[in-house]
């Protein structure tokens, strides 16, 4: 994606429809549906990503299981009350979706999973080293959108990016580029029952620190 992007939240995916669409919700008379799309990684593995689509985009669209689709939109978050706690739920909100022709598919499949975010650190990043010596930093990014709303996007940096993220503080303004990934984990209940769930996060490939727009500027001014 272009490094001169003006939007703060942009996603472009190409993948295969893996489940029939399901009704999600309705806002001001407009119905929305959810569908699961399988997106290939450069390795042999895949990510199964949730897509939210307006009924307007489904007109004359052959959204059958097994079809390739190209999706452009935003990664959005909302809170859902689950197991007596608020849980952050992520979905890719489609602004455009279409069935590619062979030429479009051949070009799009070169970069099947791209995201660009421009936002602010809203939780102190957590740096850790795995037993295999891999450096990882977890961070939560607040990305503003219209009507005074924000999306809270969990992201993960590796290696050099992890070391850089370790030194970020709440309020720092960053831009990042990467891909959206799905990850299975086991939720263990008090009863001993274990349930497999899926988490979604952004895997960072590149990031940029916006030096003149963060809390550190305010701190320097106050100290001065």
Domain boundaries, the chain: 9-223
Beta carbons within 8 Å of 54's beta carbon, 6+ residues apart: 30, 31, 32, 94
**Percent share of the chain, pLDDT over 70:** 91
**Percent share of the chain, pLDDT over 90:** 74
Q: For residue 223, what pLDDT band results from cuts at 50, 70 and 90? A: very low
Please indicate whether residue 188 or residue 75 has the higher confidence score (pLDDT).
75
- Nearest CA to 105 out of 181, 14, 13 is that of 14
What predicted TM-score, i.e. pTM, was given to this entire model? 0.89
**Dihedral angle computed from the Cα positions of residues 13, 19, 25 and 28, in that order, rounded to the nearest 10 degrees:** 60
d(CA 89, CA 75): 10
Task: Check pLDDT > 90 for residue 80.
Answer: no
Degrees to nearest 5, angle at CA 84 with 82 and 89:
30
Degrees to nearest 5, angle at CA 168 with 167 and 173:
155
pLDDT at 219: 53
- Mean pLDDT, all residues of the chain: 90
Task: Check pLDDT > 50 for residue 134.
Answer: yes
Note the CATH architecture for domain 9-223. Answer: Beta Barrel (2.40)
Give DSSP secondary structure letters for the chain: --TT--SSEEEEEEEEE-S--EEEEEETTEEEEEEEEEEE-SSS-EEEEEEEEEGGGGTT----TT-EEEEEEEEEEEEEEETTEEEEEEEEEEEEEE---HHHHHHHTTS-EEEEEEEEEEEEEEEEE-TT--EEEEEEEEEEETTTEEEEEEEEEEHHHHHHHHT--TT-EEEEEEEEEEEEEEEEPTTS-EEEEEEEEEEEEEEEE-TTSSHHHHHHHHH-
pLDDT in tens, 137-196: 999 999 999 888 999 999 999 999 999 999 999 999 999 999 999 998 887 877 888 888
What does R_g of the chain's alpha carbons equal in angstroms? 19
For 108: left if phi > 0, alpha if psi spans -120 to 50, otherwise beta; the answer is alpha
pLDDT at 144: 93
């Amino acid at each position: 994606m272009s490094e001169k992007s003006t939007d703060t939240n942009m996603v472009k995916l190409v993948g295969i429809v893996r489940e029939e669409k399901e009704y999600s919700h309705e806002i001001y008379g407009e119905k929305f549906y959810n569908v699961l799309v399988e997106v290939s990684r450069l390795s042999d593995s895949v990510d199964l990503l949730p897509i939210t689509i307006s009924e307007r985009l489904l007109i004359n669209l052959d959204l059958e299981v097994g079809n390739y689709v190209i999706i452009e939109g935003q990664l959005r978050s909302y809170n859902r009350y689950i197991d007596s706690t608020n849980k952050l739920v992520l979905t890719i909100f489609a602004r455009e979706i279409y069935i590619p022709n062979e030429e479009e598919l051949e070009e799009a499949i070169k970069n099947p999973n791209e995201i660009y975010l421009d936002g602010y650190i809203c939780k102190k990043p957590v740096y850790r080293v795995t037993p295999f010596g891999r450096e990882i930093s977890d961070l939560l990014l607040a990305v503003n959108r219209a009507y005074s709303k924000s999306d809270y996007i969990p992201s993960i940096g590796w290696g050099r990016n992890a070391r850089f993220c370790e030194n970020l503080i709440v309020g720092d303004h960053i831009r990042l580029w990467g891909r959206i990934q799905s990850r299975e984990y086991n939720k263990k209940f008090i009863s001993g029952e274990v349930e497999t769930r899926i988490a979604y996060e952004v895997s960072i490939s590149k990031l940029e620190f916006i030096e003149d727009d963060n809390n550190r500027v305010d701190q320097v001014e106050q100290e001065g």
